[in-house]
Amino acid sequence: MLVTGAFAAGSALTAGLAPPAAAQHGPAVLRPRPSTVTLGRRRVRTWTYNDELPGPTISASTGDIVHATLVNDLPEATTVHWHGIQLDHRMDGAPGYSQKATPPGGKFPYVFRVPFPGTYFYHSHVGMQADRGLYGPLIVHDPREPLSYDEEYTVVLDDWLDGLLGTPDEVLRRLNASTDHDDTLRSDLLGGVTGDVRHPLYLVNGRPPEAPATFSARPGRRVRFRVINAAADTAFRVALGGHRMTVTHADGCGVRPVTVDTFLVGMGERYDFLVRLGDGVFPLVAMAEGKGARAFAVVRTSGGRAPGPEAKVPQLDGRRLAYRDLQARTRPDLPKPERTVLVTLGMRPSGNEWTMNDRLASDPFRLRVDRGETIRVVLDNQSPMWHPMHLHGHTFQLRVPNGSGPHKDTVNVKPRERVEFDVLTANPGEWMFHCHNLYHQEQGMMGVLGYGRPPRRRAAHGHH
Ligand SMILES: [Cu+2]
């Protein structure tokens, strides 16, 4: 990992206490390849970046240029998508939109500026590849970090089936051959059926509950957790036993701190929270919402026996974060929108084709906009399932009943729900706008936000 700019290993951040993870820059080469991973008692064949699960953490500082060359050791073409980063369109890793997927044996140099601090991740954007092990954290540190904390930890959540229920492609083929949905996967929080697959395992940082990841610190330390949901089909309800959490960021963007017991994180969403750690050994739990299982890790500040994976965590049923609790902190409100576009989310009678304004990805719905305008997007979910809708290359400002809504790039929309956001078209290109349920994405739920001309050939970090 080559990082240019102000940030250097070990450099003290100017405000607050220096996040210790700042010294990690990660690799300059991402090599997706077939690999064997150990998941507790099981060893499975899968695909990973650089033989790591999750892929190696790439970290940089606001304004830096990130260099990461993809070297494709897979038997299939692939890309890397930098989820949540407002980057040059040509670096977006969207096959058929920003680039042709890189063939087996090929290389692709990703070079892009990271304009805003925050918690992001990278993943393959080809087919079901991200439902194997092809994802990793991307952390952009703020050289003027306004929060003060002693430690930080990244928590990557995943649902795992590869090598246990077949490959993700095989599972997709099974779903495509069926018109039914598993009615036993239900959650009131998500308004009905929560997912398409009951996964054999749910992971924190590549580890199952039987062999959990452990986060160690001294008691009384103030810790920032960065939670990333890299799953294909699972929303998680997250809580830390014995603690309340102060949420400070949604999808990388600052929000006014709000203290809750638990939050729900959809696929593609990220939340950061602060806690002052008590003295003991605590369960960090991520309930696979509506699926009757959990991902699990341990937070340890003293000796003593670790809680078991089934430890009771009353916080899971406590005060839960809602979107209406989120107020923008670090970014100004967008200009008033000039017009409104309605996007209806639907399901075809086949039960396995998901639409945006009645269209499938093969002939996608296009939001027709001009460069430099603010538009209001109304997402109206007329389908029987919830969808975490993700827009590439932008953050949008979510409309909440009061005040300034949060800036996000992924938003959950429940059945029969309407969600509104505003987006400023300030980053020209052809941008995917899709459901981050990977099965729904592959079953058609993909539209396009396209405008302007991509920046002319300059340095790859082009626009401003
Ligand atoms: Cu969906």
Task: Calculate how far, in angstroms, residue 32's C-alpha sits from the geometric centre of ligand 1.
Answer: 26
Provide mean pLDDT across the span 35-41: 97
Which residues neighbour ligand 1 (ion) by CB within 5 Å? 387, 435, 437, 440
Q: What is the mean pLDDT of residues 324-349?
A: 95
Does residue 411 register a pLDDT over 60? yes
Please write the tens of the pLDDT for every residue from 342-357.
999 999 999 999 999 9
> Is 230 a residue whose pLDDT tops 60?
yes
Model confidence at 453, pLDDT cuts 50, 70, 90, reads low
The CA 1 to ligand 1 mean position distance, Å, reads 34
456 CA from centroid of ligand 1 (Å): 34
Per-residue pLDDT at 454 exceeds 50: no
User: Please, which residues have CB within 8 angstroms of residue 252's CB and are 6 or more apart in sequence?
Assistant: 84, 116, 117, 118, 119, 120, 140, 270, 395, 409
Q: Write the pLDDT tens digit of every residue in 109-135.
A: 999 999 999 999 999 999 999 999 999
- What is the Cα–Cα distance from 231 to 187, expressed in whole angstroms? 17
**Rg, the chain, Cα only:** 21
What is the rounded average pLDDT for all residues in the chain?
Answer: 92
Q: How far apart are the CA of 292 and the centre of ligand 1, in A?
A: 20
CA of 404 to the centre of ligand 1 (A): 27
Burial 76-101 (b: 16+ CB within 10 A, else e): ebbbbbbbbbbbbbbbbbbbebbbeb
Lowest-confidence range among 8-17, 207-216, 280-289, 452-461? 8-17
CA of 233 to the centre of ligand 1 (A): 9
Distant-in-sequence, close-in-space partners of 161: CB < 8 Å, separation ≥ 6: 131, 168, 171, 197, 199, 200, 201
CA–centroid distance, residue 442 to ligand 1 (Å): 10
Separation of 387 CA from ligand 1 center, angstroms?
A: 4
Ligand 1 geometric centre to CA of 412 (Å):
9
Domains in the chain: ranges and CATH: 2-144 (2.60.40.420), 152-321 (2.60.40.420), 339-451 (2.60.40.420)
Mean pLDDT of 228-235: 98
127-153 core/surface letters (b: 16 or more CB in 10 A; e: else): bbbbbbbbbbbbbbbbbebebebbbbb
Give the distance (Å) from ligand 1 centre to CA of residue 125: 16
